[in-house]
């Protein structure tokens, strides 16, 4: 695809300068879409491991590694996305650095099963490869775009220092120098450092990211994690069909799972996020960072749906209540965070906060009946609640939003 105002394609060398933040019809490039495909693999690997852990009755054990690995996946994707929104040249060097980061994603994905067992070597190595590619891009931006040199150098330095911290953490853990009780707090401290880098780096001046482009990129990643839900449910259906054939409960869960995913997709795209980001660029950190919860909830939902289908076909030994909450908790988290994510930037949200929070509470109550009615009716009830939220919102009259100053 070709877009007006985009940089020259397939050029050997294009000077890296800030993109136009007001460019019309700015959309994801072919390279960005290819880059996203590697994250499909990484998210699928993490989701599969979570599903296996829940099915085996080790949900609490596998949850922490899942959240940690998913942070590495999401943070690497987000860093590339915001950089590309400001400095995408699509020349040969840019493509090669992007390919390097894609290789890191695949290496990280390959290390996810080992990470669940406490071995983070492959995950850390893959993350290191991704960070090397990104640092090289920032150093190039510092050299070729003098107006933002200080910001670019701060990014390169901050990312490098924190990456050293990750390597030291891996080394200390392998050497037995980090007590088990300190591993999660140490991870949390490094996460805080990662999140602080953009805030510190952009003090001299903000990068030229494009609001509509960023909104589209986040929407595409939302579709990726929703797609993992479809894949996980399909995997579970295949396993169930192979063991017992078609049953009423299996049909109910399959249909309810599709309705649920469709409702959550519809809900996400109800808000005009691009325009909202353009009006409130200073609040982009809150919006961008809070999406970790949105994405991880949708990925966890995929695992929950897979477990629900498997329970219907194989009668897993875990209680039906656990199966119900494997679906309900991610959905309730998504509904609550949907409001929290959009509150800083959307002046008059289409989806009422009371409706979202009420739906989240109702979703969390349903699994209490799972031991009596089974997992299938619970999943169907959750899907019905989410569909009702969408229906009420779409049917409600829309309120006008005040135009941007100068717009």
Domain boundary among 166, 201, 236: 201
Q: Say yes or no: 289 and 388 in one domain.
A: yes
Has residue 21 been placed in a domain? no
Q: Say yes or no: 88 and 168 in one domain.
A: yes
Question: In angstroms, rounded to a whole number, what is the distance separating the alpha carbons of residues 400 and 392?
Answer: 18
Domain boundary among 201, 229, 258: 201
Q: Say yes or no: 50 and 166 in one domain.
A: yes
Q: Say yes or no: 259 and 186 in one domain.
A: no
Residue 246's pLDDT is 66
Which structural domain, as residue segments, surrounds residue 131? 30-201
Q: Say yes or no: 82 and 188 in one domain.
A: yes
Has residue 251 been placed in a domain? yes
Nearest CA among 97, 107, 167, 104 for reference residue 134: 97
Domain boundary among 149, 169, 201: 201
Q: Are 299 and 47 in contact (CB under 8 A)?
A: yes
Q: Say yes or no: 192 and 294 in one domain.
A: no
Find the radius of gyration of the CA atoms of the chain: 22
Question: In angstroms, rounded to a whole number, what is the distance separating the alpha carbons of residues 377 and 308?
Answer: 11
> Tens place of pLDDT for every residue, the chain, 407 residues?
444 344 444 568 889 988 988 888 888 999 999 999 999 999 999 999 999 999 888 888 899 999 999 999 999 999 999 999 999 999 999 999 999 999 999 999 999 889 888 889 999 999 999 999 999 999 999 999 999 999 999 999 999 999 999 999 999 988 888 887 888 899 999 999 999 999 999 999 889 999 999 999 999 999 999 988 787 767 767 766 666 566 778 888 888 999 999 999 999 999 889 999 999 998 999 999 999 999 999 999 999 998 988 887 666 788 889 999 999 999 999 999 998 898 889 888 888 999 999 999 999 999 999 999 988 999 999 999 999 999 999 998 876 444 444 33
Question: In angstroms, rounded to a whole number, what is the distance separating the alpha carbons of residues 7 and 14?
Answer: 8
Q: How many domains does the chain have?
A: 2
Q: How many residues does the chain have?
A: 407
Q: Say yes or no: 218 and 122 in one domain.
A: no
């Amino acid at each position: 695809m070709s877009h007006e105002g985009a940089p020259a394609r397939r050029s050997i060398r294009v000077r890296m300068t800030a993109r136009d933040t007001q460019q019309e019809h700015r959309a994801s490039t072919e390279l960005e879409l290819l880059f996203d495909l590697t994250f499909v693999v990484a998210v699928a690997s993490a989701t599969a491991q979570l599903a296996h852990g829940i099915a085996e009755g080790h949900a609490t054990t596998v949850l922490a590694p899942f959240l940690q690995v998913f942070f590495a996946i999401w943070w690497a994707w987000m860093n590339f996305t915001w950089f590309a929104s400001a400095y995408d040249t699509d020349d040969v060097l840019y493509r090669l650095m992007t390919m390097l980061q894609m290789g890191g994603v695949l290496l990280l994905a390959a290390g996810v099963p080992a990470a669940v067992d406490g071995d983070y070597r492959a995950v850390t190595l893959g993350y290191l490869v991704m960070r090397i590619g990104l640092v090289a891009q920032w150093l190039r931006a510092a050299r070729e775009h003098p107006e933002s040199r200080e910001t670019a150098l701060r990014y390169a330095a901050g990312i490098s220092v924190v990456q050293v911290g990750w390597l030291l953490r891996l080394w200390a853990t392998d050497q037995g120098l980090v007590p088990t009780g300190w591993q999660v707090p140490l991870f949390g401290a490094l996460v805080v450092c990662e999140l602080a880098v953009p805030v510190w780096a952009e003090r001299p001046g903000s990068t030229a990211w494009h609001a509509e482009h960023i909104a589209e990129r986040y929407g595409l990643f939302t579709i990726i994690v929703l797609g993992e839900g479809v894949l996980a449910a399909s995997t579970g259906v295949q396993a169930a069909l192979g063991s017992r054939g078609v049953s009423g409960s299996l049909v109910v869960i399959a249909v309810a799972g599709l309705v649920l995913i469709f409702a959550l997709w519809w809900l996400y795209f109800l808000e005009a996020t691009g325009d909202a980001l353009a009006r409130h660029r200073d609040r982009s950190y809150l919006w961008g960072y809070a999406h970790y919860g949105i994405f991880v909830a949708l990925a966890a939902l995929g695992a929950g749906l897979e477990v629900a289908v498997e329970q219907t076909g194989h009668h897993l030994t875990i209680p039906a209540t656990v199966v119900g909450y494997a679906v309900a908790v991610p959905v309730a988290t998504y509904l609550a965070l949907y409001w929290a994510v959009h509150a800083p930037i959307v002046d008059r949200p289409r989806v009422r906060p009371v409706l979202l929070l009420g739906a989240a509470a109702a979703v969390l109550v349903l699994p209490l009946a799972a031991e009596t009615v089974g997992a299938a009716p619970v999943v169907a009830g959750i899907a019905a609640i989410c569909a009702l939220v969408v229906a009420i919102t779409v049917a409600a009259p829309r309120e006008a939003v005040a135009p941007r100053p100068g717009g």
